[in-house]
Amino acid sequence: MTLAEEPTTATPEKEIGKARRRKEDARLITGRTTWTDNMVLPGMLHLAVVRSPVAHAKITNVDLSAAREAPGVVAVFSGQDFKEEQGSIPCAWPVTPDMVNPGHPSVAVDEVNHVGEAVAVIVGRTKSAAQDAVELVDVDYDLLPPVLDMEQAVAQGTGLCHDHLESNESFTFVFDAGDAGTGVDTEQAFADADVVVSRRFVQQRLIPAFMEPRSVVVQPQGDNYTLWSSTQVPHILRVMLAMVTGVPEHKLRVVAPDVGGGFGGKLQVTPEEVLSLLVARRLGKPVKWTETRSESLMSAHHGRDQIQYIDIAADREGNVKGLRCRILADMGAYLRLVTPGVPVLGAFMFTGIYKFPAYRFECRGIFTNKVPTDAYRGAGRPEATFAVERIMDELAVELGMDPLELRRKNWINAEEFPFTTVAGLEYDSGDYETATRQALELIGYAELREEQRRRRESGDPVQLGIGFSTFTEMCGLAPSRVLGSLSYGAGGWENASIRMLPTGKVEVVTGSTPHGQGHETAWSQLVADSLGVPFEDVEVLHGDTSVSPRGLDTYGSRSLVVGGAAVMKAADKVVAKARRVAAHMLEADEDDLEFSGGTFSVRGTPGTGLSIQEIALATFAAHNFPEGMEPSIDAEATFDPVNFSFPHGTHICAMEVDTETGMVKIRKYASVDDVGVVVNPLIVEGQVHGGLAQGIAQALYEEAVYDADGNLTTGTFVDYLVPSAADLPHFDTGNTVHAAPGNPIGAKGVGEAGCIASTPAVVNAALDAVRHLGVSDILMPLTPERVWRAIHQGGDGGGRATAGTVAWGGASTETTTGVSTDESSLGGDR
Amino acid sequence: MIPAPFAYARPTTVDEALEAVASGGEDVKILAGGQSLIPVMRLRLAAPETVVDLTRVAELRGVREEEDAIVIGAMTTHSDVLSDPLIARYAPLIAEATGTVADRQVRHRGTFGGALAHADPAGDLPAVALALDAEFVIAGLQGRRTVPATEFFVDYLTTALEEGELLVEVRVPKLGGTWGMRYEKFNRVAQAWSIVAVAAVVRREEGRIAEARIGLTNMGPTPLRAHAVEAALVDVEATGEAVAAAAEHAAEGTSPSSDLNAQADYRQHLATVLTRRAVTVAAGL
């Protein structure tokens, strides 16, 4: 045995591509961390919000006297108390110049426009004191008829959601490829086409249902305020809160501590955040508000909710000639942060991966007396992908073609990238054929088709179907110039800085605030490779506007693609500065230095190395520094992409349908995704699985249902069905890699891919199983009842009875008792 | 999710529990496993004056044999039911149905008697008790009485338990040997209540179905017996056709609700399919 040391010149293993377990998970999973609701400040008061039990009414009187006298209650406020200072919840995305925004008070003043809207706020010494007083607030409502159905809302002579507006329409947004010069005339294309297929698809309303309920803590200190919130967007929140409340931006610090999920649901400036700040300012005391799950389901923003009228034109050989989309998008009662922008984001993705020569998109934003919609995982792209992947199947049926053959005939070929679509986007890279071939192998396509044939021939009560989704999406929100052209109120850049500590450890500050994605792990891997430091020596700081002053946070699969790119750029700058110091210390020319594995060495002179850690210490001491150079090798960088990135993939679902009961069961699911270069395969796999779960949930399980009076009857997780692992199949996943040319990592983004791709694959599979029985559409979610009705009674399965399924479901919560009428058929009365 | 204030008693014997209920005021709720009561209280849909917690009443736990019956203590948890050898031997239907109740966490807290006394028609155990002709032993300050399953379930969330009474145990006739059983549950996700479910208990005799007892879950305000199906299955040849023909009667006399999961006509259809499937398995076909 020798005592030889490990050679220090060995190149450390590359971190990028390694399936590192996430360094943040131990604290996140055990909950031993700073969830906002875990925070306790001296003298902290607790808020409870009184919410409207009715969907549409004038408030004629609010009597707070009994609540004010309740034990442990410090103060009670109604909308009257804050009407001068609460402003409006901001909408940062006026999608058209004449978009109508009714204004969104944080606490209702004269009228309520959806069940769950705040009408008063109780401030108690304890949470239970505040909660106990909620029932003591007496509000008189003068009921108005609610507007709940979009197709009725746009009809002539209908009731109004907001009686001070002229109609229920917020905006009409049009993209016409002919007008834009990116395609030919759409009307002409349809007039000339051999075949036109028209369908009406419904994107049901969904609830983001993040794991950690929302929570806010505000601490006033002198004329400063610190606001902790379970938010995805501390940086955006700070700017917006300053604008709304008049607290100057430099007097407001916003912190997103560890945040337990969002899925877009925490990409918001919430009424409760504004209220908490207003109450803390009024009382000069720290306050906390944490929502209950019931409050979350009924008052946090919802997602999706579109009615899509889709027309596709083609010739008899199956060459697509045009796509026309007319969309009704439900805004809910108000416009929140990016409410109108969500359907507009989708406008450019309805053509999917296909070479349509003509395209027209028309979207009307409609007000209804429901909670506002806003971003939800995919935000616009799942809606678009669903429409195009469903209509391609319908066209294939019309033409008598194999759905995959039709897709192949029309998709962009690998050698055609970069490809500018009829919607004007430049798709960066990919190979749809290879991904599809791989997915077909993964699922065992030939055997499944054979089994399908056997079951059909034998009239098996359980039929089998196979559905495809060959999708792409756009990630990496966003090129600031593009956002500007779409009238979005902010840019899309991201910021990062790197601090080299004297001991050689590294602090990475990112403006992309995580809420469960694993930034700390992935960023550490990026920096470990770039600087040649150990993975463990990197600490990632985020989420506090006083620690990471510049950033635009996490949504739209942007973090790695934009935020990670900023980290890479900052690391390059650190290396460049360190190189200058190394050259000075090694008395060599900068150009003669090579940097590898964290060490600078003079080319051709072995044993001359100087590690970046040694340089960090030398920088700290600054005893011997290059002439004219500031003693720092820290660096900051901002990355603004020039284009989106476009992940793509092929998802195939095999579905069993029990024709006797309507029960559907996913037999097999295979997905091959191209998300560009993979930094951490474990995180990517997790994102794909979670995305698939959510996309499948839209197809099969989840729907926010309102009854005829506007009560949310899916008011608990008993009736809003979020599937668990037990309800989902095994996923066979694979990937192809085409590096994104638009960022230094080559990553395309993966946060939403599974969610965007899977929904149409699942619905197409179910339809493929029963199409020979005369079924051409089934509304989502595919409840057994709808599937059974579609098979045995025709149609699309129809609406659902709206009563909750157990006594404690429906619009009744601890703060409001749902008001039911004969029409509303609420649960609990059977 | 904070309940309204309430008084709390935690007795250790049945007698103490009855005293606590009697002295608890106007609105007393009995806490068994709390898997239905606690959510309702947290949502403030129930705000009892007093909660009497039975979790420390040891005499109410466990399963014992008593001549031709097994006796299940009301506070026996679902989890204990699942591992009990007497139930496995003489009333495997109870174990099969209990295994479909919610999730592991709920089954560790929730109790056999609590689920029956709650009498949720979407709950799985009421229809099972009905199909097994179980008897309910009820204790009051005046003594004990026994109520057959057919009289125990009175209406939606309402049983034969009078104010001040406790369900203490449930007697289930021993059914082994020639008896086959099956619980056929239909729901959308693993942890959900039954949309419809069917409990079938079938006595087989030399290739024939001698008798069948069918309990229906969530087909009306109370669990129901499918009498028409039972009548059609007295001493018939055990064939798929006979079972299917009998199952066609499963919805007769039912009055299911319409809710998010299913409208009434679809529930009635499901009842026939599930009855056919349950009886088919119970009959060993």
A135/B1 Cβ within 8 A: no
B186/A127 Cβ within 8 A: no
| pLDDT tens column, A95-120 | 999 999 999 999 999 999 999 999 99
Return the residue of B nearest to A131 by Cα: B2
Spell out which residues of chain A touch residue B240, defining contact as CB-CB under 8 Å.
none
DSSP-derived secondary structure for A394-411: HHHHHHT--HHHHHHHHB
- Predicted confidence (pLDDT) at residue A543 exceeds the cutoff of 70: yes
Q: Residue for token digits 């909620």?
A: A134
Sign, Cα dihedral of B206, B210, B215, B219 = positive
pLDDT at A829: 30
* Closest alpha carbon to A422 in A530, A522, A476, A350: A350
Confidence category of residue B176, pLDDT binned at 50, 70, 90: confident
pLDDT at A806: 74
Q: Specify which residues A494 forms β-bridges with.
A: A639
**A127/B contact by beta carbon, under 8 A:** yes
Mean predicted confidence (pLDDT) in A709-723? 94
- Predicted confidence (pLDDT) at residue A344 exceeds the cutoff of 70: yes
A801/B262 Cβ within 8 A: yes
| pLDDT tens column, B120-153 | 999 999 999 999 999 999 999 999 999 999 999 9
Alpha-carbon gap, residue A6 to A4, rounded angstroms:
7
* Closest alpha carbon to A480 in A492, A467, A471: A492
pLDDT at A11: 62
Number of neighbours of residue B50 by Cβ within 10 angstroms: 18
| Distance of residue A812 Cα from the nearest chain B Cα, in angstroms | 8
Give me the amino acid identity at A196. V
B156/A135 Cβ within 8 A: no
Strand positions, DSSP E, A315-432: 320-332, 359-367, 419-420, 426-427
Q: Is A50 helix (H, G, I), strand (E, B) or coil?
A: strand
pLDDT at A807: 60
Specify whether the backbone of A815 is left (phi greater than 0), alpha (psi in -120 to 50) or beta. Answer: alpha
Mean predicted confidence (pLDDT) in A328-350? 97
- Predicted confidence (pLDDT) at residue A1 exceeds the cutoff of 50: no
Return the residue of B nearest to A703 by Cα: B260
Q: Which of B38, B188, B255 to mutate to test the interface with A (most CBs of A within 10 A)?
A: B188
The answer to whether the beta carbons of residues A468 and A442 sit under 8 Å apart is no
Lowest mean pLDDT among A122-136, A174-188, A484-498, A809-823: A809-823
pLDDT at A808: 57
Alpha-carbon gap, residue A769 to A554, rounded angstroms:
39
pLDDT at A817: 38
Spell out which residues of chain B touch residue A721, defining contact as CB-CB under 8 Å.
188-189, 192
Q: Is B8 helix (H, G, I), strand (E, B) or coil?
A: strand
**A721/B contact by beta carbon, under 8 A:** yes
pLDDT at A802: 87
The answer to whether the beta carbons of residues A150 and A368 sit under 8 Å apart is yes
Select the residue of A785, A802, A809 nearest B266 (Cβ to Cβ): A785
pLDDT at A803: 87
Select the residue of A726, A803, A827 nearest B190 (Cβ to Cβ): A726
**A726/B contact by beta carbon, under 8 A:** yes
The answer to whether the beta carbons of residues A400 and A461 sit under 8 Å apart is no
Alpha-carbon gap, residue A517 to A475, rounded angstroms:
15
Spell out which residues of chain A touch residue B189, defining contact as CB-CB under 8 Å.
701, 721, 723-724, 726-727
Distances (CA, A) of B95 to A568, B119, B184: 58, 18, 13
Spell out which residues of chain A touch residue B263, defining contact as CB-CB under 8 Å.
785, 800-801
Task: Tell me which H or E stretch contains B95.
Answer: helix B92-98
| Distance of residue A802 Cα from the nearest chain B Cα, in angstroms | 5
| Distance of residue A504 Cα from the nearest chain B Cα, in angstroms | 47
Mean predicted confidence (pLDDT) in A775-796? 97
HSE-CB of B75 using CA atoms within 13 angstroms: 18
Mean predicted confidence (pLDDT) in A655-676? 98
List the domains of chain A with CATH numbers. 25-30+493-639 (3.30.365.10), 38-146+209-299 (3.90.1170.50), 431-463+646-799 (3.30.365.10)
Spell out which residues of chain A touch residue B270, defining contact as CB-CB under 8 Å.
661
Tally A–B CB contacts below 8 A.
95
pLDDT at A157: 86
Compute the mean pLDDT over every residue in chain A, rounded to the nearest whole number: 95
- Predicted confidence (pLDDT) at residue A8 exceeds the cutoff of 70: no
Confidence category of residue A156, pLDDT binned at 50, 70, 90: confident
Alpha-carbon gap, residue A696 to A693, rounded angstroms:
5
Select the residue of A128, A808, A827 nearest B43 (Cβ to Cβ): A808
Confidence category of residue A811, pLDDT binned at 50, 70, 90: very low
A812/B258 Cβ within 8 A: no
Long-range contacts, stretch B100-108, CB < 8 angstroms, 24+ apart: B100/B124, B100/B183, B100/B185, B100/B194, B100/B197, B101/B125, B102/B35, B102/B191, B103/B190, B103/B191, B104/B79, B106/B33, B106/B35, B106/B78, B106/B191, B107/B77, B107/B78, B107/B79, B107/B82, B108/B77, B108/B78, B108/B79
Phi, psi at residue A456, to the nearest 5°?
-65, -45
pLDDT at A397: 98
Q: Residue for token digits 């635009």?
A: A552
Spell out which residues of chain B touch residue A719, defining contact as CB-CB under 8 Å.
260
Stretch 55-114 of chain A: residues touching chain B, C-beta under 8 Å: none
DSSP-derived secondary structure for A573-632: HHHHHHHHHHHHHHTS-GGGEEEETTEEEETT-TT--EEHHHHHHHHHH-SS--TT--S-
Spell out which residues of chain B touch residue A788, defining contact as CB-CB under 8 Å.
266, 269
List the domains of chain B with CATH numbers. 7-53 (3.30.43.10), 63-173 (3.30.465.10), 179-282 (3.30.390.50)
| Distance of residue A178 Cα from the nearest chain B Cα, in angstroms | 44
Return the residue of A nearest to B157 by Cα: A807
Confidence category of residue A6, pLDDT binned at 50, 70, 90: very low
Q: Record the tokens describing residue A505, joined without a space.
A: 């450890």
pLDDT at A4: 45
Q: Which of A214, A296, A785 to mutate to test the interface with B (most CBs of B within 10 A)?
A: A785
Alpha-carbon gap, residue B27 to B24, rounded angstroms:
7
pLDDT at B191: 87
pLDDT at A19: 98
Select the residue of B42, B189, B274 nearest A724 (Cβ to Cβ): B189
**A605/B contact by beta carbon, under 8 A:** no
Confidence category of residue A815, pLDDT binned at 50, 70, 90: very low
B263/A785 Cβ within 8 A: yes
Alpha-carbon gap, residue A264 to B44, rounded angstroms:
30
Return the residue of A nearest to B267 by Cα: A785
The answer to whether the beta carbons of residues B33 and B60 sit under 8 Å apart is no
Stretch 275-294 of chain A: residues touching chain B, C-beta under 8 Å: 292-294
What percentage of residues in chain B have a pLDDT greater than 70?
A: 100
| Distance of residue A401 Cα from the nearest chain B Cα, in angstroms | 34
DSSP-derived secondary structure for A467-528: EEEEEE--BS---HHHHHHTT-SS---EEEEEEE-TTS-EEEEESS--SSS-HHHHHHHHHH
Confidence category of residue A26, pLDDT binned at 50, 70, 90: very high
Q: Record the tokens describing residue A630, joined without a space.
A: 């500031």
Confidence category of residue A624, pLDDT binned at 50, 70, 90: very high
What DSSP character marks residue B111?
B
pLDDT at A810: 46
Q: Specify which residues A696 forms β-bridges with.
A: none
**A135/B contact by beta carbon, under 8 A:** yes
Question: In A291-312, which positions are buried (b, 16+ CB within 10 angstroms) versus exposed (e)?
Answer: bbbbbbbbbbbbbbbbbbebbb
Confidence category of residue A2, pLDDT binned at 50, 70, 90: very low
| pLDDT tens column, A435-450 | 999 999 999 999 999 9
Distances (CA, A) of A4 to A8, A10, A565, A606: 11, 14, 40, 19
Q: Judge if the upstream peptide bond of residue A760 is cis by omega within 30 degrees of 0.
A: no
Q: Which of A49, A786, A805, A826 to mutate to test the interface with B (most CBs of B within 10 A)?
A: A805
Select the residue of B193, B258, B270 nearest A801 (Cβ to Cβ): B258
Alpha-carbon gap, residue B161 to B119, rounded angstroms:
11
Select the residue of A783, A784, A812 nearest B43 (Cβ to Cβ): A812
